[in-house]
């Protein structure tokens, strides 16, 4: 069954207005055009919504017209959509469109740029990039062959054919390098050096790290530096050879009010394994509850560290 084109167009237009109202696009009409033209529902032929403590599956082939309508309108909600669930646990999702818009604007692509996306997901983000730059300029990579196969199928249905590669995202995609931009849609614990080596000088890397978004400028194959953006970001972790396990934290005795503060949780994530949580709390209070934009990350040769205010300042922690 094909989705009702009138309902799809109305829902997509409403989503575009909602993203625009959030201020995500600023003065870049190219991304507004991409979200207006790329049909998100083709990338989420089914998804799951919370129901009774579990998940309910909505899909475009449902014989019930009312449920098909819920699926189609829900596909254009400004919300993340659970796309893979196993044994009641969420495995993957399609990101919130307004967050995707903010990330794409912050990526600061220009005509002619070559982009590597790490984490293919449903293929929707790669379609937006392909619409903006041309499919031949876009490469998306994912470790899971089921994900890349479905992303490739969704992209073809929408009329886009960027390079979709099955492989370890931490290793990048050297055969398609060099890249002017790298964007990750999975959370990192550190910046893979292979990415720097595959970047052109002056390239920009945008990636989720410690519940934030780090924007790095690449100087050469061994050096990069940048600050966190204001926007919080929560993504599934990067999988593959460059991924590392979570770092255990002992946060007993910390005040509940601090633990409920989203920015303090960001600092805990950023300094996990290198700074005692109670020391992190003392630092956070002493520095006036610093916001994300005061923190940054530097890569220099074999070293990589996070810092507050100044990469050479007194507050720095290895990643």
- For residue range 46-89, what is the model confidence (pLDDT) as tens digits? 999 876 677 888 999 999 999 999 999 999 999 999 888 777 66
| CA angle in degrees (0–180, nearest 5) for 103-107-110 | 135
Distance, CA of 109 to CA of 118 (rounded, Å):
16
* pTM: predicted TM-score of the whole model, two decimal places: 0.92
For residue 262, name the pLDDT band (cuts at 50, 70, 90). very high
* Beta bridge partners of residue 46, listed in sequence order: 59
Q: What is the residue extent of each domain of the chain? A: 1-96, 256-318
Handedness of CA 150, 154, 156, 161 (dihedral sign): negative
151 vs 131, 155, 255, 265, CA distance in Å? 15, 6, 44, 33
Token pair listed for 5? 């084109």
197-214 pLDDT, tens per residue?
999 999 999 999 999 999
**Given this model, what pLDDT does residue 152 score?**
97
Active site residues: 92
């Amino acid at each position: 069954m094909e989705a009702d084109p009138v309902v799809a167009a109305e829902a997509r237009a409403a989503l575009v207005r909602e993203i625009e109202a959030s201020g995500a696009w600023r003065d870049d009409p190219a991304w507004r055009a991409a979200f207006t033209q790329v049909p998100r529902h083709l990338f989420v032929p089914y998804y799951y919504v919370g129901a009774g403590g579990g998940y309910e599956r909505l899909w475009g082939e449902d014989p019930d017209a009312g449920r098909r309508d819920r699926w189609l309108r829900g596909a254009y909600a400004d919300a993340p959509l659970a796309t893979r669930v196993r044994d009641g646990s969420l495995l993957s999702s399609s990101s919130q469109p307004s967050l995707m818009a903010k990330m794409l604007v912050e990526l600061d692509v220009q005509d002619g740029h070559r982009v590597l996306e790490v984490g293919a997901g449903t293929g929707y983000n790669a379609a937006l990039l392909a619409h903006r730059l041309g499919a031949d300029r876009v490469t998306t990579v994912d470790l899971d062959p089921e994900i890349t196969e479905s992303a490739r199928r969704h992209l073809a249905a929408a009329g886009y054919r960027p390079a979709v590669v099955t492989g370890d995202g931490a290793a990048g995609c050297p055969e398609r390098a060099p890249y002017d931009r790298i964007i990750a849609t999975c959370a990192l614990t550190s910046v893979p050096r292979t990415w720097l080596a595959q970047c052109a000088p002056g390239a920009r890397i945008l990636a989720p790290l410690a519940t934030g978004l780090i924007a790095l400028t690449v100087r050469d194959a061994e050096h990069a530096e940048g600050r966190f953006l204001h926007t919080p970001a929560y993504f599934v972790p990067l999988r593959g050879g460059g991924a590392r396990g979570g770092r255990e934290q002992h946060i007993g005795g910390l005040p509940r009010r601090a633990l409920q503060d989203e920015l303090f949780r960001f600092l805990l994530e950023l300094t996990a394994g290198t700074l005692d949580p109670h020391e992190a709390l003392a630092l956070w209070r002493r520095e006036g509850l610093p916001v994300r934009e005061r923190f940054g990350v530097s890569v220099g040769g074999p070293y990589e560290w996070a810092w507050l205010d100044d990469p050479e300042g007194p507050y720095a922690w290895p990643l």
